[in-house]
Each structure stands twice: as structure tokens, then as C-alpha cells.
């Protein structure tokens, strides 16, 4: 291990890295886990050679196949993660827990809890895996105080080989590695890994003099998905962890909603306009529809971005989209309680409520009438309402208007 550390430092010297170390690196007995950030470059791995002993690293599986770097990773007895595999995440946490509680039998584990590279302007959300063991951790911060930034490797910008070439072309590259005091978790933090992670992040942000943000690796995954759909990458930046905490939003659901959002926004530059909103619901513009649109458009910009759409569905439409509301709407259209809705009944109600012409009503009817038998049964109506929960608020508004109308007549 000592030989590898010396060789690593020699390589740093030969490639003109001027590395300044602050603070004291601890041992595995004092702090079995090293928390390193901000993670902005593959050069961050240099911190391996300045710890008390060569630590094991937690790295994505793909990194182990990189030339030279992959061999070094394998030598550290790593914990390899396949980030898209949920089972891999569970196994990783178990392995970290086992090593952290080995009493120094395993080397320290070095973890970049952000899970992805950023531009160092802030600290994004820390993943909780490093904090589940509830053991003391040593925060380590990295700075690159250079006039020209040739090291930052983010989602947009030069690739790895270009950055390596630019860096080697410099007379020298300055790196500061600062080992902060060991952070010992409280009893509350031991029981709450998210709180533990948040508090360690706050300490590191304070030392760096940068803010924190609720963006996370899942935002990056949504950015990738947005780019594949030919939407602006920024569409995927929703502060996923904040939505997860406040709305209980799961990544798979957010991923599915992005597909749905694309179907509405693809022809309007990445945001949903009022025209596109009306077109998607196959409804004419009306005061009621504009009211619903404005509820989604939280910042009053005149368009709905993906974050607003997700929040709107979660707070406005989905709570209203109950079986009771859908049953009421079906009964409203089903004149005589026959158990189905005819084309004429749908057209009459929609013309009265939204001034919809007969041709548009026919298009909507055909969309709901899945089995094409010329009538809409409750199951077809229900499935369509669940597919487009945006209708729910309109149903509720119309229901309230009808009830108020009856009260006035009485």
C-alpha cells in the first residue's frame, strides 16, 4: 500500500500537479469513511494518495474498465456500484456497513456522496449510502485554485481525454486537499442517514464557502432523458430530492411523467403553452381551462415547465382525481343513468361547459371510446380520466358550479 501511495505521489509530481494538503488524515479506527467533495473531475481520485493509508473506493462499475485508472481502482478492493440497478444499491449499502463496522480490519472507504460530477459552484444532494452505518466520518474537501479550469468534467463540456490533454499542457495544476475534523454523528443522526448526510454537507459547504442545492444525480438522469427526447436538458432539473421529500415522488414515476410531458410540450420549445395544454386535453379555450392552466403555471410565466407540471399533477390534479369525482362526471354525461355515454350526450355537455363544437367533441369521444362500439362505458371513461388527471380539476370545478347553481335555485 505504501509503495502505491509513493508511486501515486511521484506521478502527480511528474505531471506537474502541485498538491497542498491541509488538516490531518485520520485512521480507519477513528473514521472508517472519508466523505469527499465537491466531486468535479476524474482528477479527484488523487486524494487517494494523500490519506493515512490507501483507502478503498466506492465507484461505478464502468470505472473499473478504464485503462490504468481501472487497475488502480481494483487494487483498492473497491465497492463497485451499478447505478441503474436498485439491487446493486442495497448490496453496496450492506458492504459499506460491513466494512465500516470491521474495527479497522478493512481500509477506510472513500466516497464521493454527490454521485456525479458538478462544477464546484455548490454542493448538490448527498446520497445517504455512506451515512447508514452511523459511524464517524472525516469530510475531505478539494479545491482547484487555478487561473484556467482544465479539470472540471461535467455533463456538458470537454471530454475526459481533452481535459487530460489541456491539464498536461499547463505549467502546473494546483490542487488543495483539506481534511476537516472528524464528524461524529449524534444519536438522532445515527437513526436518520438523510439528516446525517445533510449536516455533513452543511459543514463542508461552510468550509468551501459555497451554497447547497437539492439537485441530485437523479436530476442528471432526467436531464439525459430530456436530451434523448430532444427537450432542453434543463427540463430535467427539477430538484428531484426536494420533490421526493415533499411529494413522495419516485424516480420511475418522474421518468414516466417526462414522457407524458414530452407528448404535450414537444412542439412548443420544451415548455407547455396554453394552446398546447388545450390541444392535449382536446378542449377549446375557456375561463375554466385557463384557471387550471394558471394553477400549474406557478411563476406566471405563461408556460408550464416540467417541474411545474409534476407539482401541478401532484398537488392539483391527482388529489382531485378520485373515483368519486370520476363517477360524478360520468353520471353528469350519462343522461338517464343507462351505464354509458353517447356521442350526443358528450357533445351537449361539452358545448354547454366549454363551448366545444361538435367536431371537436367527436374527436374526443373517439379517443375515449377504445372498443369503438359507439358508446363510452364507465371503465373506458375511468381509464381515460386516470390517463389524463388534468381533467379532474375541471370536473371538480364544474361539479361545484352545478351544486352552487342548485343552491341558488332552491
Q: Are residues 183 and 275 in the same domain?
A: no
Q: Is the pLDDT of residue 403 over 80?
A: no
* pLDDT band for position 408 (cuts 50, 70, 90): very low
Q: Are residues 6 and 51 in the same domain?
A: yes
Range of the domain at 380: 323-388
Tell how strand 303-304 and strand 109-111 pair up. unpaired
Q: Are residues 51 and 195 in the same domain?
A: yes
Cα 157–Cα 163–Cα 168 angle in degrees, nearest 5: 160
- Collect all residues with Cβ–Cβ distance below 8 Å to 28 and sequence separation of at least 6: 53, 104, 106, 107, 108
Its pTM stands at: 0.74
Domain boundary among 282, 297, 320: 320
Encode pLDDT of 151-201 as tens digits.
998 877 888 889 999 999 999 999 999 999 999 999 999 999 999 999 999
Q: Are residues 31 and 91 in the same domain?
A: yes
Q: Are residues 118 and 171 in the same domain?
A: yes
- Bridge-partner residues for 376, per DSSP? 341
Structural domain includes residue 401? no
Note the pLDDT of residue 86. Answer: 67
Note the pLDDT of residue 77. Answer: 84
Q: Are residues 53 and 176 in the same domain?
A: yes
Q: Are residues 173 and 194 in the same domain?
A: yes
Stretch 330-356: mean pLDDT: 85
Residues 211, 204: Cα–Cα separation, whole Å: 10
Q: Is the pLDDT of residue 398 over 70?
A: no
Q: Are residues 122 and 193 in the same domain?
A: yes
Structural domain includes residue 240? yes
* Domain count within the chain: 3
Q: Are residues 164 and 268 in the same domain?
A: no
Stretch 294-311: mean pLDDT: 92
Note the pLDDT of residue 83. Answer: 64
Instruction: Report the share of the chain in percent with pLDDT over 70.
Output: 94
Structural domain includes residue 48? yes
Domain boundary among 320, 352, 378: 320
Encode pLDDT of 316-331 as tens digits.
887 777 888 888 888 8
Domain CATH code at residue 263? 1.10.238.10
What mean pLDDT is reported for the chain? 87
Residues 112, 132: Cα–Cα separation, whole Å: 15
Give the least confident one: 83-97, 221-235, 279-293, 379-393.
83-97
CA of 339: how far to CAs of 49, 237, 345, 378, in Å?
Answer: 74, 44, 13, 7
Encode pLDDT of 100-159 as tens digits.
999 888 999 999 999 888 899 999 999 898 999 999 999 999 999 999 999 998 877 888
Q: If 0-12 CB within 10 Å is exposed, 13-18 middle and 19+ buried, where does residue 91 land?
A: middle
Q: Are residues 351 and 291 in the same domain?
A: no
Note the pLDDT of residue 391. Answer: 82
Structural domain includes residue 41? yes
Note the pLDDT of residue 407. Answer: 44
Q: Are residues 299 and 336 in the same domain?
A: no
Q: Is the pLDDT of residue 20 over 90?
A: yes
Domain boundary among 208, 239, 256: 208
Residues 202, 212: Cα–Cα separation, whole Å: 7
Q: Are residues 226 and 247 in the same domain?
A: yes
Structural domain includes residue 407? no
Residues 395, 403: Cα–Cα separation, whole Å: 12
Note the pLDDT of residue 401. Answer: 57
Q: Residue 44 is placed in which grid cell? A: 479527484
Structural domain includes residue 355? yes
Note the pLDDT of residue 324. Answer: 83
Encode pLDDT of 248-288 as tens digits.
889 999 999 999 999 999 887 889 999 999 999 888 888 88
Structural domain includes residue 406? no
Count CB-CB contacts under 10 A for residue 388. 17
Note the pLDDT of residue 409. Answer: 45
Structural domain includes residue 75? yes
Encode pLDDT of 199-240 as tens digits.
999 999 999 999 998 888 888 889 889 989 999 888 888 989
Amino acid at each position: 500500500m505504501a509503495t502505491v501511495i509513493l508511486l501515486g505521489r511521484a506521478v502527480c509530481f511528474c505531471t506537474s500537479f502541485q498538491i497542498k494538503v491541509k488538516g490531518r488524515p485520520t485512521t480507519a479506527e477513528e473514521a472508517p469513511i472519508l466523505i469527499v467533495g465537491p466531486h468535479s473531475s476524474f482528477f479527484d481520485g488523487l486524494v487517494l494518495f494523500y490519506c493515512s493509508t490507501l483507502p478503498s473506493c466506492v465507484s461505478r462499475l464502468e470505472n473499473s474498465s478504464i485503462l490504468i485508472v481501472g487497475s488502480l481502482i481494483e487494487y483498492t478492493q473497491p465497492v463497485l456500484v451499478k447505478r441503474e440497478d436498485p439491487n446493486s444499491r442495497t448490496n453496496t449499502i450492506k458492504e459499506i456497513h460491513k466494512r465500516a463496522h470491521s474495527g479497522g480490519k478493512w481500509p477506510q472507504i472513500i466516497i464521493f456522496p454527490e454521485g456525479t460530477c458538478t462544477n464546484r459552484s455548490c454542493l448538490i444532494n448527498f446520497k445517504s449510502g455512506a451515512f447508514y452505518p452511523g459511524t464517524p466520518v472525516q469530510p475531505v474537501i478539494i479545491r482547484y485554485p487555478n487561473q484556467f479550469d482544465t479539470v472540471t468534467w461535467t455533463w456538458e463540456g470537454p471530454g475526459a481525454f481533452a481535459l487530460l490533454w489541456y491539464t498536461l499542457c499547463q505549467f502546473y495544476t494546483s490542487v488543495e486537499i483539506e481534511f476537516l475534523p472528524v464528524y461524529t454523528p449524534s444519536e438522532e443522526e445515527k437513526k436518520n442517514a438523510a439528516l446525517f448526510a445533510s449536516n455533513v454537507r452543511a459543514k463542508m459547504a461552510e468550509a468551501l464557502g459555497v451554497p447547497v442545492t437539492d439537485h441530485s444525480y437523479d436530476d442528471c438522469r432526467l436531464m439525459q432523458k430530456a436530451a434523448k427526447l430532444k427537450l432542453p436538458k434543463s427540463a430535467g432539473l427539477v430538484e428531484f430530492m426536494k420533490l421526493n421529500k415533499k411529494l413522495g415522488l419516485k424516480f420511475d414515476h418522474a421518468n414516466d411523467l417526462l414522457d407524458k410531458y414530452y407528448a404535450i410540450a414537444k412542439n412548443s420549445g420544451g415548455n407547455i403553452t396554453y394552446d398546447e395544454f388545450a390541444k392535449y386535453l382536446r378542449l377549446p379555450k375557456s375561463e375554466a381551462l385557463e384557471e387550471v392552466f394558471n394553477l400549474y403555471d406557478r411563476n406566471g410565466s405563461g408556460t408550464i415547465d416540467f417541474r411545474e407540471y409534476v407539482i401541478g399533477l401532484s398537488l392539483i390534479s391527482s388529489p382531485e382525481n378520485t373515483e368519486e369525482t370520476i363517477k360524478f362526471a360520468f353520471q353528469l354525461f350519462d343522461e338517464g343513468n343507462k351505464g354509458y355515454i353517447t356521442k350526443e350526450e358528450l357533445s351537449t355537455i361539452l358545448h354547454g361547459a366549454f363551448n366545444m363544437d361538435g367536431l371537436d367533441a367527436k374527436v374526443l369521444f373517439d379517443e375515449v371510446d377504445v372498443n369503438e362500439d359507439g358508446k363510452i362505458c364507465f371503465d373506458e371513461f375511468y381509464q381515460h380520466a386516470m390517463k389524463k388527471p388534468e381533467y379532474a380539476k375541471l370536473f371538480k370545478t364544474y361539479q361545484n358550479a352545478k351544486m352552487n347553481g342548485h343552491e341558488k335555485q332552491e
